[in-house]
Structure 1
Amino acid sequence: MTYNEITYPFDTRPGDGEVLEVSEGILWVRMPIPIPGLDYINLYLIEDEDGWTMVDSGLNTGEIRDHWRNIYEKYLKGKPITRMLCTHFHPDHMGQAGWVTYKWKIPLTMTFGEWTFGRMLYLEAQEETPDYVIDFYRSVGFSEAMLEKVRDRGFNNFRQAMSQVPMGFNRIEDGDSITIGKRDWQVIVGTGHSPEHACLYSASDGILISGDQVLPRITPHIGVYPAEPFANPLKKFMDSIEIFKQLPRDTLVLPAHNDVFYGLHNQLDFYQSHHEDRLNRLILACDTPQSAMDLLPVLFDRELNEKDKGLGIAEGLAHCHYLVVKGKLERVIGEDGIWKFQKSGARYKAVA
């Protein structure tokens, strides 16, 4: 089959603390997460001869640890966890990794970029929000009410969302091959959503464990944040689409959110058209200088609440920076000190 449309081969999902076998020796696990619109994360267990590999771990909550204990007791056939592999550093994926590696006395397996970023954010977490973070959000158009919330929450919540990130780790890189049981898994690194996101592909079975790099029903979040304020993550994400298009059309995709699906190329095509549409909208809207806040109604077809506005501005910046690098837009500073974006050629004070 060519799977020109998204199809879902399973008419059920695993319950909390339960598993569903999606292919021989591969168990699908779902864990609850308090993220509106997502609600659950998909995690996977792959059987090896002498144990199991965990792919991603869930948020650092007591509820999820209890679910894992239940799974360990009921479904592992008396074998231990022998490898903890995290696709990327986001807390819903890496949050329990420290607990898992300590419990089973195993190393954490990740790409260098993801482990480094996760450990850095964990170590730098602090109660008081640094001035440079406030300055960034003020520059991109946050209201005073939004800035106050940034101050109140402190500098990132990694200490709460993550168990202690291990000091050492086992590095994997793009193109590496990992043998688990009867399968060889190729590491395919995607970028844009996170610095060095690791996916696993089994050519023999046509299975891709895609993490957040490829998701059904939604587009992965691509945003610009204070740690790298002039980044161009959308360019990296669009380049990564071409990498995954090299995989067969009938690949079975095991994503981190929503449902296991067929239709990889259909979804990749959708990502391209979705982002190209947003880029075209921005070009048309930027005849005069526009802040990322001004551009929210251009990029999104629904009104965003205060929390979603922060994510929306991050995504808007990613699209604007893509066009700045392409030479389609210029980044300028308005009289109010806020970054503005306008079609190239206007005479305004440009920033780096």
Structure 2
Amino acid sequence: MSLHFPHPVPPAAGERIEVALGVFWLRMPLPFQLDHINLWLLRDGDGWTIVDTGFPDDGVRATWLRVIEQLDGPVKRLIVTHFHPDHLGLASWLMETTGAPLSMTSGEFLTAHVVWNEIGGHGARFMVEQFRQHGLDEERLAKFEKRGSGYRKAVPALPDYYDRLKAGDTTTIDGRSWQILIGHGHAPEHMALYCVELGVLISGDMLLPKISTNISVFAATPDADALRWFLESLDELASGIPDNTLVLPSHGLPFVGVQPRIAALKAHHEDRLRALEESCERAPKSAAELLDVLFQRALDTHQTMFAMGEAIAHLNYLEQAGRLSRSTGTDGVIRYLRLQQQSTAH
């Protein structure tokens, strides 16, 4: 079964499209190769709930002001799926502008603060050392050192308070119950929202229709099996969400087809894992040496950050699954070698 896209034309900036009863689609620009984010505006009684906030940019702020001015009631609540700048970046500003409170998970709220403040193993200096251990050359490391905290530059301010949502909770919006579903791998405690009555899943970055969600390993948790966590989260979605559900992703078009999309993502990652295994067949390789295997294109500094995190996540998965061995050389670089499988006589 292929995916179905019931709304093939995205809204222009400042416009909104009703994709389900009381659920409206907004789209805002991003200053990256991935050039947009989808945001969601939900009717909530005599007012509105906003899901995700967009990237802190004067143009996005101006668009939000136009949208808010056109609403027929107050913004009563902000819900943020996870801590990344395109999702949380304008939360403080929107809270000040609208007076609405913020709801999110503790894992995402607290991670935002430690990354912003570069403490607890999070931040540029820790990331640089992590990438050095995984073989990235000094020229590219120097660019990360010079850039410093990309997160602090992208998120000018963070909220100091929030209402906590957690796995198993339900929240009521416009009299309808939305289940809080938690996914791991892309972010520590990423929240998706599922309404059985509407047949709608607001998936955030956990389930995208075309691209594969970035799965990275933080320096603070160097042995994290983030890819396994992500794949297990997909299995949980697959078992609990009917295939005729309308999925509202943060990037790309709304789609129907939960099961085939999850199957395609799992096949994609297994293909990448096998390619890494084969590349480590004859000699041990570092994550940096394997970037070309996973990403067959030129990478700028911003993209290299995600690429290194993704490579480490895949290598951690393979090592912990017993498919690669891991060793640290006299140069301090971590490398991986394929474990020889016993041949089976036929």
1:245 equivalent to 2:242? Answer: no
Q: Secondary structure at the match of 2:316?
A: helix
Equivalent position SS for 1:294: helix
Structure 1 131/16 Cα, relative in aligned 2: closer, same or farther at 3 Å? closer
**Equivalent residue, structure 2, for 1:219:** 212
- Paired residue type of 1:141: G
What residue in structure 2 maps to residue 50 of structure 1?
46
Distance 1:309 1:68 in 2: 31
Aligned residue identity for 2:293: V
Residue number in structure 2 paired with 1:304 = 298
Partner of 2:139 in structure 1? 145
| Counterpart-to-counterpart distance in 2, 1:5 and 1:217 | 12
AA of the residue aligned to 2:43:
E
Q: Give per-residue Cα distances to partners, 1:110-152, cap 9 Å, x unaligned.
A: 0110011012222338xxx865433222111211211111111
Distance 2:54 2:186 in 1: 18
Counterpart for residue 186 of structure 2? 193
130 and 283 in structure 1: CA distance in 2 versus 1, 3 angstrom threshold: closer
Local SS of the residue matching 2:289: coil
Helix, strand or coil for the counterpart of 2:78? strand
The superposition leaves residues 43-93 of structure 1 with CA deviations (integer Å, 9 ceiling, x where unpaired) of 00101113111000001111111100000112x11x111111000000000
Q: Does 1:203 align with 2:196?
A: yes
Deviates more, 1:214-223 or 1:16-25: 16-25
Contact map agreement 1:212 1:220 (CA 8 A) in 2: yes
Matched, 1:341 2:339: no
* Secondary structure at the counterpart of residue 101 of structure 1: helix
Partners of 1:56 and 1:87 within 8 A in 2:
yes
Residue in structure 2 matched with residue 84 of structure 1 by the alignment: 78
Tell me, yes or no, if structure 1 residue 40 matches structure 2 residue 36: yes
Q: In structure 2, how many angstroms separate the alpha carbons of the residues matched to 1:343 and 1:166? A: 46
Asked whether the 8 Å contact 1:59–1:96 carries over to 2, the reply is yes
1:160 is displaced (CA, Å) by 2.6
Mapped contact 2:21–2:198 kept (Cα < 8 A): no
SS in 1 for 2:168: coil
| Contact 1:56 1:94 (C-alpha < 8 Å) held by counterparts | yes
Partner of 1:67: 63
Q: Which amino acid aligns with 1:113?
A: G
Q: Which moved more, 1:176-185 or 1:26-35?
A: 176-185
RMSD over equivalenced CA pairs, Å: 1.6
Counterpart of 1:350 in structure 2 is: none
Structure 1 SS opposite 2:217? coil
TM-score, structure 1 normalization: 0.91
Deviations 1:300-341 (A, max 9, x none): 3x2332333332222111011011111222221123321101
Corresponding residue for residue 27 of structure 2:
30
User: Contact 1:199/1:209 (CA < 8 Å) preserved in 2?
Assistant: yes
Amino acid in the other structure paired with 1:197: H
Structure-2-length-normalised TM-score: 0.92
Letter in 2 for 1:210: S
Whether the 8 Å CA contact 2:85–2:155 is kept in 1: the answer is yes
- The residue number in structure 2 matching 1:135 is 129
Q: CA offsets, 1:134-177, max 9 Å, x none?
A: 322211121121111111111x2233322421111100011111
- Deviation at 1:231? 1.6
Q: Hey, what does 2:257 align to over in structure 1?
A: 263
User: CA separation of 1:205/1:131 partners in 2, compared to 1, >3 Å: closer, same or farther?
Assistant: closer
CA distance in 2, matches of 1:121, 1:293: 23
Query: Aligned partners of 2:10, 2:57: CA distance in 1, in Å?
Result: 21
Q: Structure 2: state its 5+ residue gaps.
A: 341-346
Number of the residue aligned with 2:174: 181
Of 269, 280, 286, 2:274 maps to 280
Could you give the per-residue CA deviations for residues 267-299 of structure 1, whole angstroms, max 9, x where no partner exists?
100111011111122222222211112212322
Contact 2:118 2:124 survives alignment (8 Å): no
Correspondence for 1:348: none
CA distance in 2, matches of 1:295, 1:240: 26
For the 8 Å contact 1:186–1:200, the answer to whether it is kept is: yes
For 1:65, the aligned partner's letter is: R
Q: Does 1:116 align with 2:110?
A: yes
Equivalent in the alignment of 2:343 = none
2:275–2:293: 8 Å Cα contact kept in structure 1?
A: yes
Q: Distance in 2 between matches of 1:109 and 1:137?
A: 33
Distance 1:63 1:167 in 2: 25
Q: Does 1:99 find its partner at 2:93?
A: yes
